[in-house]
């Protein structure tokens, strides 16, 4: 029997690898979600592939999870310190669309990428705009307990009241903390103090605005995550994830206000896990800077989304990765070879957990050994590179029985999520880019898409389906978004 290795995770709180033991029957997991004001770029998707690996590790170990990923559709200020304009409002003005349109459009874009990357759905995707009332109550409680002060620009959390402030960031002196926060806020006592409520100033009128004890305005971004996570996972829960940038500021502030709110002297959340960044050249890929490549750009250039997933999994989540064309090329080639080797083994057995996999390899010592390697790798702080190496071993190991080999491949993919049971070599062929179409071909496709929209408006589903089949034959995939249909070449 393969051993059930103790799951160990690197906890940013204390910066060490620790045993993970579930505190209750269901483990609560909160991942900071997207701010839906622009297309997610490739780096933005890394935290969700990482959280997905964590989900798969829990499933593998038979640990029940409730996963919450928030959608920030209000409150994320252009300056992460929580002052000034809202990112969504700036985007709405730039694109001359309503804030609601912007939020709906980019939320769809996020979900499209989540689906394309084969990421398991979260149990809840709360929208910040739906939780403003409890946010106001939370901030009012902090005010009542003496953790805040008022300024004309809003209600501020007084970080001097929290002796443990900044522990997660491991930057103990205020000087270091201040270095990260540059913008000036009149009257703020310490630069680390952050807005719980961003009030409208005289002459200012926000698009997204709520009435509150501190005047009309909008909640602060940090407040949102504390309130939504507690609302859906309970006051204390087990794990909180996000990109490593959150370790320095956003999560520091979430912890400060949540522990002040709870006041029970307990750590609010036990494990804080952070993925490293994806670098584009030497630069940080910043969504707000624009121009960073996204998944659709890769697809258009002929890369399968799973090649990007494989590229990410080829590095450990706590290692920085450099995004280069050569690296995705290599990932696509590896994926192609993997599929060529796995195809003759199909159908693969349905395996999601270590227990299922162990049952499937009973009587095959070579398969048991490989399964043990897989379990050791996922248990060691989610070592996806080692899982990939074991998958390669399984495809080369001559001592395996065919069923043992199938079981190990299925087990590896339960953890990797590459879709090895169904991906076809044809899926990985270089796709035609939209730019390769001539005007006539392009017009023909656009006419068909428009006819299909019309048929749908007239509720003529038969015709709409016929047109979709026609488009399918042309290799055109249509996705219906809240902004209307979007098409791309497969
Ligand atoms: P946002 O939608 O901007 O709130 O960011 C979504 C997530 O992406 C957050 O968890 C960020 O920490 C993370 N993130 C942003 N840029 C990168 C990057 N280049 N590499 C990895 N993660 C990133
Ligand atoms: Zn958050």
150 SS3 class: strand
What average pLDDT does range 52-72 have in this prediction?
98
pLDDT range class, residue 285, cuts 50, 70, 90: low
Strand 194-199 versus strand 217-219 pairing type: antiparallel
Query: Residue 357 and residue 407: Cα distance in Å, rounded?
Result: 6
CATH of the domain at 90: 3.40.50.620
Same domain, residue pair 338 and 440? no
Specify if 296 maps to a domain: no
Q: What is the Cβ-side half-sphere exposure of residue 225, based on CA atoms within 13 angstroms?
A: 28
Whether the predicted pLDDT of 283 surpasses 70: no
pLDDT at res. 432: 59
Average pLDDT, the chain: 90
Q: Which of 428, 459, 475 is the last residue of a domain?
A: 428
Which ligand is in closest contact with the Cα of 292?
Answer: 1
- pLDDT for position 178: 57
Per-residue pLDDT, 89: 82
pLDDT band at 423 (very low <50, low <70, confident <90, very high): very high
- pLDDT tens digits for 345-394? 999 999 999 999 999 999 999 999 999 999 999 999 999 999 999 999 99
User: Is 75 within the bounds of a domain?
Assistant: yes
With contact defined as beta carbons under 8 Å apart, do 449 and 456 qualify?
A: no
Counts for the chain of helices (H) and strands (E), in that order: 16, 17
**Ligand 1 site, residue 294, Cβ cutoff 6 A:** no
Q: What is the pLDDT of residue 480?
A: 81
Q: At what angle do helices 402-416 and 42-60 cross, to 10 degrees?
A: 130
Closest CA to 390 of 403, 377, 406, 407: 377
For 393, residues 6+ apart whose C-beta sits below 8 A from its C-beta are 370, 373
Adjacent-strand bridge partners of 154: 151, 198
* pLDDT value of residue 290: 56
Residues 163 and 105 in one domain: yes
In a domain, 286, yes or no: no
From atom 7 of ligand 1, which residue's Cα is the shortest distance away? 44
Identify the weakest region by mean pLDDT among 170-179, 354-363, 392-401: 170-179
- As given in the structure block, the two tokens for residue 356 are 């299922």
In a domain, 411, yes or no: yes
User: What percentage of the chain exceeds 70 in pLDDT?
Assistant: 91
Number of domains in the chain: 3
pLDDT band per the 50, 70, 90 thresholds, residue 262? very high
DSSP letter for each residue of 169-197: TT--SHHHHHHT-----TT-SSTT-EEEE
Check whether residue 34 and residue 166 sit in a common domain: yes
- Residue 33 near residue 69 (C-beta atoms within 8 A): yes
Q: Among 69, 38, 53, 82, which residue's Cα sits nearest to residue 252? A: 82
Asked if 265 and 170 sit in the same domain, the reply is yes
What pLDDT does residue 27 have? 98
- The reply to whether 397 and 481 lie within a common domain is no
Same domain, 202 and 337: no
In a 13 Å sphere around the CA of 444, the CA atoms on its Cβ side amount to 12
Q: Does ligand 1 lie within 6 Å of residue 35's CB atom?
A: yes
- Mean of pLDDT values over 290-310: 89
Is pLDDT of 196 > 90?
A: yes
Question: Cβ–Cβ contacts within 10 Å for residue 317, how many?
Answer: 25
Q: How are the residues of the chain apportioned to helix, strand and coil, as percentages rounded to the nearest 5?
A: 45, 15, 35
As a three-state string, the secondary structure of 449-485 is: HHHHHHHHHCCCHHHHHHHHHHHHHCCEEEEEECCEE
* 449 and 409 within one domain: no
Is the domain of 387 the same as that of 482?
A: no
Q: Strands (DSSP E) along 152-265, which ranges?
A: 154-157, 194-199, 217-219, 237-243
Strand pairing of 237-243 and 217-219? unpaired
Mean pLDDT across the stretch 386-413? Answer: 97
CA of 404 to the centre of ligand 2 (A): 42
Residue 13 sits in the same domain as residue 56: yes
- How far away, in angstroms, is 110 Cα from ligand 1 center? 12
Residue 295 lies in a domain: no
Quick one: 424 and 439 in the same domain? no
One domain, residues 316 and 180: no
> Confidence class of residue 473 from pLDDT cuts 50, 70 and 90?
confident
Q: What is the mean pLDDT of residues 307-315?
A: 98
Ligand 2 mean position, distance from CA 232 (Å): 14
Q: Is the beta carbon of 273 within 6 A of some atom in ligand 1?
A: no
Does residue 291 fall inside a structural domain? Answer: no
27 Cα–ligand 1 center, Å: 24
Q: What domain range is 382 assigned to?
A: 301-428
DSSP 8-state class, residue 370: H
Residues with CB under 5 A from ligand 2 (ion): 32, 225
Separation of alpha carbons 484 and 52, rounded Å? 29
Using the predicted structure, report yes or no on whether residue 415 has a pLDDT greater than 80. Answer: yes
Q: Is residue 287 part of a domain?
A: no
Q: Which of 47, 53, 247, 290 to mutate to test the pocket of ligand 1 (most atoms within 8 A of CB)?
A: 47
* pLDDT in the model for residue 333: 95
Pairing of strands 484-489, 278-280: unpaired
Q: Which of 48, 65, 32 is nearest to 247 (CA)?
A: 32
In this predicted structure, which of 173-182, 298-307, 443-452, 461-470 has the lowest mean pLDDT? 173-182
Q: Is residue 13 part of a domain?
A: yes
Ligand 1 and 305: CB distance under 6 A: no
Token readout for 48 is 């969700």
- 146 and 74, same structural domain? yes
Structural element, H or E, at residue 24: none
pLDDT at residue 84, as a whole number:
66
Does ligand 1 lie within 6 Å of residue 243's CB atom?
Answer: yes
Distance 123 CA to ligand 2 centre (A): 17
């Amino acid at each position: 029997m393969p051993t059930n290795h103790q799951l160990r995770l690197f906890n940013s709180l204390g910066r060490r690898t620790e045993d993970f033991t579930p505190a209750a029957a269901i483990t609560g997991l909160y991942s900071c979600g997207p701010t839906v004001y622009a297309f997610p770029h490739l780096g933005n998707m890394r935290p969700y592939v990482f959280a997905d690996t964590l989900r798969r590790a829990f499933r593998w170990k038979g640990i029940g999870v409730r996963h919450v990923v928030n959608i920030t559709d209000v409150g994320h200020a252009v300056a992460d310190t929580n002052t000034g304009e809202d990112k969504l409002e700036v985007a709405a003005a730039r694109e001359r669309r309503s804030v609601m349109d912007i939020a709906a459009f980019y939320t769809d874009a996020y979900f499209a990428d989540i689906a394309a990357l084969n990421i398991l759905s979260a149990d809840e995707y709360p929208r910040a705009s739906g939780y403003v009332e409890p946010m106001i109550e939370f901030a009012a409680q902090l005010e009542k307990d003496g953790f805040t002060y008022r300024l004309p620009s809003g209600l501020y959390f007084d970080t001097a009241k929290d002796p443990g402030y900044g522990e997660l960031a491991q930057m103990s002196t205020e000087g270091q903390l201040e270095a990260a926060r540059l913008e000036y806020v009149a009257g703020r006592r310490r630069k680390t103090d952050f807005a719980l409520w961003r009030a409208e100033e005289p002459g200012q009128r926000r698009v997204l605005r709520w009435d509150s004890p501190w005047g009309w305005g909008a909640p602060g971004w940090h407040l949102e995550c504390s309130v939504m996570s507690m609302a859906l996972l309970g006051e204390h829960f087990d794990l909180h994830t996000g990109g490593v940038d959150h370790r320095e500021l956003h999560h520091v502030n979430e912890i400060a206000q949540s522990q002040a709110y709870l006041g029970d002297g307990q750590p609010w959340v036990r494990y804080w896990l952070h993925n490293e960044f994806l670098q584009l050249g030497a630069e940080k890929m910043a969504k707000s800077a624009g121009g960073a490549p996204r998944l659709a750009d890769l697809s258009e250039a002929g890369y399968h989304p799973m090649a990007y997933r494989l590229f990410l999994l080829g590095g450990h989540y706590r290692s920085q990765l450099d995004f280069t064309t050569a690296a995705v090329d290599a990932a696509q080639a590896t994926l192609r070879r993997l599929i060529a080797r796995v195809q003759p083994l199909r159908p693969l057995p349905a395996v999601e957990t270590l227990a299922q996999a162990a049952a499937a390899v009973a009587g095959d010592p070579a398969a048991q050994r490989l399964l043990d390697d897989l379990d050791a790798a996922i248990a060691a702080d989610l070592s996806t590179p080692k899982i990939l190496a074991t998958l390669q071993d399984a495809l080369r190991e001559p001592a395996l029985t065919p069923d043992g080999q199938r079981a190990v491949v299925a087990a590896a993919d339960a953890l990797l999520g590459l879709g090895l049971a169904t991906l076809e070599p044809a899926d990985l062929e270089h796709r035609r880019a939209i730019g390769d179409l001539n005007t006539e071909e392009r017009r023909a496709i656009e006419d068909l898409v428009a006819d299909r929209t019309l048929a749908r408006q007239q509720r003529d589903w038969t015709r709409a389906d016929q047109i979709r089949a026609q488009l399918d034959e042309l290799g055109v995939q249509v996705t219906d978004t809240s902004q209307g249909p979007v098409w791309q070449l497969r």
